[in-house]
Amino acid sequence: MDGAGACILLASAVAMLASCHKVCFIGSEYDPQAGIPLRWFLPYKVPCECTAVRLGGTHIPASSYRQGAPHYLKELFLTETAECSSPEALGMEDGTIPDDHITASSVWESTNYPGCCPPQKGRLNSDSIWAPSSNPDSWIEMDLATSTVVSGVITQSLALGKFNGYVTMYKVAFKKQSTSQCEHVRDGNGNVKLFKGNTDARCTPVTNMFNESVVASVVRIEPTEWHVWVRLQLELLGCRRN
């Protein structure tokens, strides 16, 4: 193949890649209907046309990015890869995740142990434990406040008098943004992953790492099997983004 032919072939390949790969730059502008608050937008009416989303700038009029009718968003999101080479504790045990960012499906109330078991006690190595009032469909949820790479979970239980129990199997759900739909962490075959939990109530930690890290701002642990009662302490593992 001569030089001219190679250049034509290369140009055709570049044109083909450009036609199927659309990096969308997300921008923000003042919302004329709401006044001062900013609104985020993508340049395409159908966001699925974007194969990647990167930050374009703030206080930019939508017309600067418009290839078609813009798609407006309530929150900023970017398509960054979920890379975390050295996962660390994300703040359940040390309190980096504040109490008001931890919620649960319900809380067990005990006359023998008043105030013992709110979700805020579901921190790893806490002096108590989270316990729901109803085991089926129970969950505990952590709002990480910002987009965070989550790579795994540590769980354990705690003997509480005669009220011993522990989670033996659970699922992990997450939201990319607080307003997003819940998704579940999946296994290598694309099925919802069931993680093996604890086998005793003696504060023995069990660590489970995901097949692939996920980017999330909200994480929810959903017990599916348990011994006697759902009783849980936990820590999330991953990487905070600066």
- Phi, psi at 209, each rounded to 5°: -105, 145
- What's the pTM? 0.69
Give all domains of the chain, ordered by start, each with its CATH number: 21-79 (no CATH), 88-239 (2.60.120.260)
- Phi, psi at 171, each rounded to 5°: -110, 160
pLDDT for the residue numbered 7: 39
Quote the DSSP letter at residue 135. Answer: -
Region of poorest pLDDT, from 83-87, 155-159, 194-198, 233-237: 83-87
Region of poorest pLDDT, from 56-70, 73-87, 115-129, 133-147: 56-70
Model confidence at 72: pLDDT above 70 = no
CA dist., res. 133 & res. 223, Å (int)? 13
Region of poorest pLDDT, from 6-20, 68-82, 181-195: 6-20
Q: Which residues contact 38 (CB under 8 A, 6 or more apart)?
A: 28, 29, 30, 31, 58, 59
